[in-house]
Structure 1
Amino acid sequence: MSDTSVDSVGGIATDSSVVATDRRVVGKSIMSHDFIEKVKGSLLYAEDWSLPGMLLGKVVRSPMASARIRAIDVSKALEVPGVAAVLTARDVPVNRIATHASGGLGELDVAMPVLAADRVRYAGEPVALVAAETRAALDQAAELVDIDLEPLPGVYDPLSALLPDAPLVHEEGNVLITWNISCGDVEAGFREADVVVEEEYRTQFVEHAYLEPEAAVAWMDQGILTIRAATQVVEHAAEIAEILNLPQNRVRVISTYMGGGFGGKEDMTVEPYVALLAWYTRRPVRMIFERQESILATTKRAPFVMKYKTGARRDGVITAQEVDIVGDAGAYPYLSARVMFAAAVTACGPYRIPHARVRSRAVFTNQVPTSAFRGFGAMEVVFGYEGQMDRLARVLNLPPDEIRKRNFLRKGDLRPTGERVDTTVAIEETLDQAMYALGAPSAPSSPRKRIGRGLACNMQPYGRTAWFHDQASVWLSLSADGSLTIRSGITDLGGGQAASLCQIASEVLGVSLDEISVHIGDTALNPPAGGTFATRQLYMSGNAVLHGALELRRVLADVAAGILNTTPEQLEFRDGAVFVARGETAGQGINLATLARECESRGVSPAVLYTWRAPVGSFDPTTGKGATFPDYTYGAHAAEVEVDLETGCVTVLKYVASHDVGRSINPLRVEGQIQGGVAQGLGYALMEEVELDEGIPKSTLFADYLVPTALEVPDITVRIVESGEGKGPMQARGIGEPPIGPVAAAIASAIADAIGIEPRRLPMTPERLLDLLRDNPIRGAA
């Protein structure tokens, strides 16, 4: 349950003649097709697909974290009845996956093998593939693949990996990339300060823990390799074609609706392996990662070590900040360059810092690779910069909200990258909303428990970095019966990405939602939209649909105006028809079905293919100046917790999350994204951690990897603010990632308020809190 209010500011300003302030569809909490199908259980996911003659596939993985491969013997595995193939590196046409996550701006050129050939660099690295008729044969053959490994020295901590004598994970070096951003004169800024606070903050490896594990089915049909997969990026078809040395038009990827992605399905997971087996055997192959396999070997959220130093005057105004961030990339690059860029760009938070110096590095270790995870880079650093704000507030004896308000960015301010903030920063309003909604303080439930309240603010980018020349295409077609078809390469993680496109098109064209069908995630049939990541799809595909619908509307309006003896400017599209809104013939109209047929009879196509291109900028990695992200979503959270001084257990009693979403396309989905982000953030704050012992996970089961349940998640109160200045369609801002950012910092702030000690390491488990209490005998005794 939750309490949701919408603070609406004016009407939609995209095109006042087309989208009026009295919104009919956009801004409404409308139930969409995927809601109903999910509740009924009729929505099909990746592993629900099967084909005649289908084989089962499995990855054989390294048990060691750092070793040389002396030999691989598959002969016994091939003798198992029912085994159709056992593949190793020598069977891969092009055994290389190259990732240039930063767009080539300074990272090492380190390739990742599809299957390890001569060396393994993390426990769980793929070494061989097996395809068999039955699960029993598959498991038996996988056990019989004999991998002869010679242990090699490894490095299992990113700070250790920076030492001159550290073992090299890759010959190119252990530092994948370094980002440097600075402004002003940092030394002079610290001289101006009356107080300086310094601290180190640490975060952890985190598992995505989605309901649906990684899964795909692949098959060959008339020379075309088709993969139906749970993936956030259907454009991986090009990489699979490269691995198989095939023309790109010979590989088709279809994305199903997903049972969660959170960035874990942004990189390829099962796709190259199931593709190789189907291509080799010429039979359909299905591969599903077991939960143990998913926790063992798929990418994680990167652990950060963050050193912050902040100076401020007595009135609380910040004069300088220095930040050094080291992120554990694990054994291979994946998207670590991009993660650490987002961390560098947002390291100072939503605050005016006149003198700043930030260094952010991605470092290789012999641990499971890290990559994209909801809010990557920009969410980890919230724990650091909000911890500094709370420390300053305590040192200066200022209220935590007041010191933030004295330093918040404002529209027109310059950020450390030299960019000018060009949209409204309504973060103060979100902070006021969050604190007010928290209500009166609760009383402790026993003498041995303490109540604490905390807050945290954040800024989270939406859209890809500005130098990527991002674009998204959409095809809209009005049929002769008045129904509308939308085709887009967008993938849907469960956040309503496809449904939002329908609402936007319905608002512009007046077609009812039950008359709109949307076809998504198919490289062969839908125009490309780019992946669903970086909170970019509403921004990119939403704008593509908006402008494509406006273009189609113009085409239809020209024909309708001739029929109704008026001008296009006098027309209104609503309720499946076009009406004359003003003038002598006001009230007359024509339904869309008739209009579509009239268009066809006049040789006018009632269909539009539209490509929306995001604004482009450049960034200079040598100076740390230039364009970074299109825009940011700002928010504030407030929490109340109860800490048991005897057990260290933390109970979250109240939680409020407020974000400026620009314009809310569907408040129900916005609320769901915020609540989901908070719930996931509570796990990050209090319990979730993939613990490794020299690269080997201590557990790969949900029995030990704890995630929040209904017992741990309180009612989450949501306050939606609408400033009307986002850069998405109809001035919307992205909201998929932002809500996870402030959670850990808000809980840490509340715990510090309760016990007088600042947690500086995640997760804040009972054991760690008891250690903090033991180190503080006065509070501990109390």
Structure 2
Amino acid sequence: MSASTPQDTATANVEFNQLGKPLTRTDAAGKVFGTTPFAGDYAMPQMLHLQVVRSTVASAKLLKLNTEKARALDGVVEILTADDLPNPSATPHFHEAYGEKRPMTDPPLLVSDRIRFFGEPLAVIAAETSEIAAQACALVEAEYEPVQGVYDPQEALQPGAPIVHGEDNIMVERKIRKGDVAAGFEDADLIVENTYRTPFQEHAFLEPEVGLAWVDETGVINIRTCAQDIEHFRMIADVLDLPHNRVRIRGAFVGGGFGGKEECAREIYMALMALKTGRPVRLEYSREDSFVGHGKRHPMILRYKTGVTKDGKISALDVDILADSGAYLYLSANVLLYAAVAAPGPYKVDNLKVCARAVATNNMYTSAFRGYGAMQACAAYEQQMDEVAKAVGKDPIAFRQQNYLKTGDPIATGFVPPGAIWTDQCVDRAWAALGPRVEPVEPHIKTGRGVAAYQQSYGKVSFLGDTSEAWVGVEFDGSVVVRSGVADIGGGQVSSLAQIAAEVLGVGLDDVTIYKTDSALTPLAGRTAATRTLSMTGNATKKASEAIRSRLLGRAAIEFGVKPSEVLLSKGRVLVGNAPEKSMRLGDLARLCHIDGIQASELAMHCATHADLLDSETGQGQAHPDYTYGAHAIEVSVDTETGEVRILKSIGAHDVGQCINRAAVEDQIEGGAQNGQGYALSEEMLYNEGKLMTPSLSEYLMPTSMDMTEVESIILESRSGVGPFGAKGIGEPAISAVAPAIANAITDAIGVRIFELPLTPERIVNALMDQES
């Protein structure tokens, strides 16, 4: 269910025909009836099947890789190792988005000498069937020389610790400095210091990584894949030492990504094998392969030291963040930046010190995941706010309201967000929606409530360039075509673009068709990540549609003998507002434009806000274009005998700026609640000296439909965002506050704080036993 709040007075009278309504998404019918083809549904005659050979140790030197027995197996066609990479030094360089290049940033595509994490790829085998390929993998013999590893980020910093990278295992450091922290603590009447821990988390998308590659009649490598970014074609071409125009990625609807499908190693394996064999090749990861084959959410240790005056004002904040980067830096520099910027949360802190470090270990490398560092920070600062409120003797909501940022206030980096900051309204609405407290029916059942708010970025500023393009055209029958390279990862990204074009051009959603995700034929839109798609590609679509609309109105004005401002586009027709007898079909107007040489189509580009790099010592500057603000409120019951937690009520309240599709926004809030609930209560990747001990969904416990309660979505619309029509992003923000809200509710129920996620039954029972003793 959903509820809304009145917009501010400046925008309350704006009316839309298509936007803000819970319209059926353009991709809904195909997915419901099973007719939508995903990447795994494609096949070609005579295609080969690929499997990846992976290391069985986490830290070693690779002395020898013997593939003779595997090559001799009947049905094996080709085996590739590191020696077969045409340009082994070329790897994806995502980290350069924030102006940094460090040695051993990216995991090697295939290991040649040094193994740094369990499951690192050693070879790729192509065979006539996937079963033969799997048999061949088991026949590959790897000879290792063990190297002492390190598996805890704190231990990795100790003198004499095994070195994974560099001189001290510190991969990257971020700093935020604002005001006078020492003076702020001197002014404090009370100082509260706690340390919070967050775990690895697996993306666990429904669709494992899968794809198909072939070389066409022109010599171009075609790759059909489930990816969050079709612009990987450039990286793939670089590794293969080919011109960029010789690699083409054809995307498909993606069965979930959450950041885990930003990587492109599997596409490189397929492309190289297709080149080598001259046959189509298919690679599909098993669930176990997927679990060890892509990066995870960064575990973090977050120490918060908060100074507060007796009247409840935060006077100083000192935050130390230690992130486990795993075996390679990869995206840690970026994730760490997001965590550092988010560290104080949506609160006004005049005296601030943040030190964030990512440390190399021999664990699986860590990467992008929904929330991207800011979520871990939120898990810490919102639990800390409850602890500080309790210490100073204030109601946790009243304490928060006293310290929230307001619209126009600068955040931690000194940047003033252009959008509204409606945190207080979101918290009030979410808390009120909990209604009467549920009374427990058994004495060993305790109930509790918690709330958490957040500040979450959406989109990226342009340090080295971030652009998105879209093409829009009106056909002679009045139908509309949109072309964009945007990858739809399940959030309705494609359907949103159709709604935007329909709104601007005065047609229905059914009148719009979208061609998407083909690096050779659709304008490039950048990756679907960082909650950037709506603000970037949505704005590009709006710009293109508005350019067409302007030309159409101009030509119609000539036809009707009126001013362009008097012409309306509505329901597929062109009308004169004060003379309804003057009208024509939109398609007829498009034909007139064609005859007169007036374009009824447009290619538009939207560029991210340009900003300089943040100051390396103070972190001051603009890190992101804007921020979404919201809150989540939770009521739980806790069985004090077993530690079992049940979510009784779950309320998400978010200022989304402007809904594009209300149903899609509700879907994001509900999905974020599920994702965050798993992070809070059950999802934990357990490792033993780097070896994953929870390698499938049987051991890695995600909440199912049986564990979820109904989620109420409260949607606020300030229409103040930098996205189209004032929209803000909601994809990542929807998850940020869920885990700390649950943690606060459990603490309220049992009277003791557990400082490490997930809050498993075992940890709850142990905490209660410690409390009694």
Q: TM-score, normalised by structure 1?
A: 0.97
Match of 1:36 in 2: 29
Structure 1 counterpart of 2:130, from 112, 129, 135? 135
Please give the per-residue CA displacement for 1:446-498, whole angstroms capped at 9, x wherever unaligned.
Answer: 11111111111101100014424321111111112211110011000010000
Structure 2 counterpart of 1:77, from 70, 73, 85? 70
Structure 2 counterpart of 1:59, from 48, 52, 64? 52
Match of 1:94 in 2: 87
CA deviation after TM superposition for structure 1 residue 33, in Å: 2.1
Q: Is the 8 A contact 2:418 2:720 kept in 1?
A: no
1:713 aligns with 2:711: no
State how 1:576-615 maps to structure 2 within 5 Å.
576-582=572-578, 585-615=579-609
Residues 731 and 11 of structure 1, relative CA distance in 2, 3 Å threshold: farther
Structure 2 counterpart of 1:175, from 170, 184, 187? 170
Q: Is the 8 A contact 1:340 1:361 kept in 2?
A: yes
Structure 2 counterpart of 1:675, from 664, 670, 675? 670
Letter in 2 for 1:717: E
SS in 2 for 1:168: coil
SS in 1 for 2:233: helix
**Matched residue count:** 769
Match of 1:730 in 2: 725
Structure 2 counterpart of 1:121, from 110, 113, 116? 116
Match of 1:293 in 2: 289
Match of 1:430 in 2: 426
SS in 1 for 2:366: coil
Letter in 2 for 1:6: S
Q: Take 2:581 and 2:204, find their aligned partners in 1: how far apart are those partners? A: 55
Letter in 1 for 2:558: G
Match of 2:38 in 1: 45
Residues 11 and 257 of structure 1, relative CA distance in 2, 3 Å threshold: farther
CA deviation after TM superposition for structure 1 residue 335, in Å: 1.1
Match of 2:571 in 1: 575
SS in 2 for 1:553: helix
Letter in 1 for 2:733: P
Structure 2 counterpart of 1:510, from 501, 506, 512? 506
Match of 2:493 in 1: 497
Residues 103 and 614 of structure 1, relative CA distance in 2, 3 Å threshold: closer
Structure 1 counterpart of 2:182, from 182, 187, 208? 187
Structure 2 counterpart of 1:112, from 107, 124, 136? 107
1:325 aligns with 2:321: yes
Q: Is the 8 A contact 1:107 1:176 kept in 2?
A: no
Q: Take 2:348 and 2:465, find their aligned partners in 1: how far apart are those partners? A: 29
CA deviation after TM superposition for structure 1 residue 271, in Å: 1.2
Match of 2:334 in 1: 338
Q: Take 1:421 and 1:243, find their aligned partners in 2: how far apart are those partners? A: 39
1:541 aligns with 2:537: yes
Match of 1:555 in 2: 551
Q: Is the 8 A contact 2:99 2:464 kept in 1?
A: no
Q: Is the 8 A contact 1:107 1:337 kept in 2?
A: no
Q: Is the 8 A contact 2:151 2:363 kept in 1?
A: yes
SS in 2 for 1:21: coil
Letter in 2 for 1:84: V
Tell me which moved more, 587-596 or 372-381.
Answer: 587-596
CA deviation after TM superposition for structure 1 residue 559, in Å: 1.2
Structure 1 counterpart of 2:198, from 194, 203, 217? 203
SS in 2 for 1:363: strand
Structure 2 counterpart of 1:481, from 464, 477, 480? 477
Q: Which 5+ residue runs of structure 2 have no aligned equivalent? A: none
Match of 1:7 in 2: 5
CA deviation after TM superposition for structure 1 residue 11, in Å: 8.7
SS in 1 for 2:558: helix
CA deviation after TM superposition for structure 1 residue 757, in Å: 0.5
Q: Is the 8 A contact 2:95 2:334 kept in 1?
A: yes
CA deviation after TM superposition for structure 1 residue 12, in Å: 9.1
Q: Is the 8 A contact 2:626 2:721 kept in 1?
A: yes
CA deviation after TM superposition for structure 1 residue 9, in Å: 1.2
Q: Take 1:103 and 1:131, find their aligned partners in 2: how far apart are those partners? A: 35
Tell me which moved more, 672-681 or 383-392.
Answer: 383-392
Match of 2:635 in 1: 640
Letter in 1 for 2:46: G
SS in 2 for 1:452: strand
1:309 aligns with 2:302: no
Q: Is the 8 A contact 1:107 1:177 kept in 2?
A: no
CA deviation after TM superposition for structure 1 residue 83, in Å: 1.1
State how 1:216-365 maps to structure 2 within 5 Å.
216-221=211-216, 222-365=218-361
Q: Is the 8 A contact 2:99 2:463 kept in 1?
A: no
SS in 1 for 2:463: helix
Letter in 2 for 1:276: L
Residues 11 and 261 of structure 1, relative CA distance in 2, 3 Å threshold: farther
Q: Is the 8 A contact 1:535 1:737 kept in 2?
A: yes
Match of 1:617 in 2: 611
SS in 2 for 1:625: coil
Q: Take 2:585 and 2:721, find their aligned partners in 1: how far apart are those partners? A: 33
Q: Take 2:422 and 2:10, find their aligned partners in 1: how far apart are those partners? A: 17
Q: Is the 8 A contact 1:196 1:311 kept in 2?
A: yes
Letter in 1 for 2:303: K
Tell me which moved more, 94-103 or 603-612.
Answer: 94-103
Q: Take 2:408 and 2:544, find their aligned partners in 1: how far apart are those partners? A: 31
Q: Is the 8 A contact 1:423 1:725 kept in 2?
A: yes
CA deviation after TM superposition for structure 1 residue 340, in Å: 0.5
CA deviation after TM superposition for structure 1 residue 691, in Å: 0.4
CA deviation after TM superposition for structure 1 residue 114, in Å: 1.0
Letter in 1 for 2:185: F
Q: Take 2:552 and 2:5, find their aligned partners in 1: how far apart are those partners? A: 35
Structure 2 counterpart of 1:150, from 145, 148, 154? 145
Q: Take 1:448 and 1:555, find their aligned partners in 2: how far apart are those partners? A: 70
Q: Is the 8 A contact 1:578 1:589 kept in 2?
A: yes
Letter in 1 for 2:409: D
Q: Take 2:266 and 2:304, find their aligned partners in 1: how far apart are those partners? A: 39
CA deviation after TM superposition for structure 1 residue 297, in Å: 2.9
Match of 2:156 in 1: 161
Q: Take 1:278 and 1:171, find their aligned partners in 2: how far apart are those partners? A: 37
1:742 aligns with 2:737: yes
CA deviation after TM superposition for structure 1 residue 622, in Å: 3.1
Q: Is the 8 A contact 1:466 1:628 kept in 2?
A: no
Q: Is the 8 A contact 1:175 1:364 kept in 2?
A: yes
- Identity, in percent, stands at 43
Letter in 2 for 1:7: T
Q: Take 1:173 and 1:254, find their aligned partners in 2: how far apart are those partners? A: 42
Letter in 1 for 2:750: I
Q: Is the 8 A contact 1:123 1:297 kept in 2?
A: no
1:443 aligns with 2:439: yes
CA deviation after TM superposition for structure 1 residue 230, in Å: 0.5
Structure 2 counterpart of 1:214, from 202, 209, 217? 209
Q: Is the 8 A contact 2:471 2:602 kept in 1?
A: yes
Q: Take 1:454 and 1:284, find their aligned partners in 2: how far apart are those partners? A: 54
Q: Take 1:460 and 1:587, find their aligned partners in 2: how far apart are those partners? A: 50
Q: Is the 8 A contact 1:65 1:367 kept in 2?
A: yes
CA deviation after TM superposition for structure 1 residue 265, in Å: 0.4
Residues 532 and 172 of structure 1, relative CA distance in 2, 3 Å threshold: farther
Q: Is the 8 A contact 1:269 1:298 kept in 2?
A: no
Q: Is the 8 A contact 2:98 2:463 kept in 1?
A: no
CA deviation after TM superposition for structure 1 residue 558, in Å: 1.4
Q: Take 1:178 and 1:676, find their aligned partners in 2: how far apart are those partners? A: 32
1:383 aligns with 2:379: yes
